[in-house]
Structure 1
Amino acid sequence: MDRWIALAKSAFMEGERVYLRPFCMADFPDFLEMTQTKENARYIFPKGLTKEQAEYLLVHDWIKEPLGKWAIVEKSTQAFLGAIRLEAFKEKKASADLAYVIRRSAWNKGYASECVRLMSQKAFEEWQLKTLRIVTHRDNKASQKVAQKAGFHHHSSFKGSDRYTHRTEWYEVFRLERPR
């Protein structure tokens, strides 16, 4: 099956405590709060977003082209917890990067690990990917711990330009290969 068709069929996914669904404009108040929380914005979102910039980001980065992008919602309360996405697809290598952010109020509750495990299972079993990577800022120990708890192994380090600040940063790469 075509990978994009498979992704389209996975628009809604369910884990033990969360479900993943496409973003919608009703998510904007929670998305805005998440982008303006210093701890969340540090690694993921451009610094100093106005309300209008956050709305533009939500629509153009998450809603307009929804395949491979999901809002994370807690099943029991329907609360918005964060976002997860596949990016940097390499068709010939059947690989992609996995990126996620959990709002500060939901940290240290296992939601990120649950989502990464769910995405990894889908990536290998349904989307026919061979490799998943998680790239973290060197000092983002929490995301590195999430990657390791989900079975990813440290693969490499590199120095590169931050996509938003354009400052040179050190990054850590974690990889997970499809089980044979």
Structure 2
Amino acid sequence: MKYVVTCMTVASAIALAGCSKKAPESLPPAPTETTPAPAPTPTPTGPVPGSQQHFHQAMMGQDVIYFDTDKYDIDGEDMAALRKQAQYLMQYPNISATVEGHCDERGTRDYNLALGERRANAAKNYLVSLGVPASRLSTISYGKERPVAMGSNPEAWAKNRRAVTIVVN
């Protein structure tokens, strides 16, 4: 029995010796610390917030208010548009705006420049009454010099009697 145990031990030792691993001829290089590459910054799509394009898009056409012939008073529809403009301007306190006054082609150049100035000032004053600092707003009158609609008809005249708010950085 002692012989059997000895044979078993020798056989086990031989079997284990056959399974032993050999040391590699050369060791692999030591691991290096790698920092993961930063994820690419997504390219912004759409206009830059605070830009004129962003303002125009956010206003959805309410960056322009319209006036009746020889008038510069702010009506209910204009008030709604100017409230929306004021909210935008308050959201972006680092930007300023210029309110442009425009007229249709009728009337003298001097008359239209003065009327355009009154229209621009009426819009500016309403924005100031809504909390926009006057220091961030300026006005300019173009009179009849920059029409958006060409033609000598009531439709063109109505489109040209306007005040336009332009964002400046």
TM band (smaller chain): 0.3 to 0.5
Q: Which structure exhibits the higher relative contact order, with contacts defined as CA atoms closer than 8 Å and separated by 6 or more residues?
A: 2
| Higher helix residue share | 2
Tell which structure's C-alpha radius of gyration is larger: 2
* TM-score, length basis structure 2: 0.32
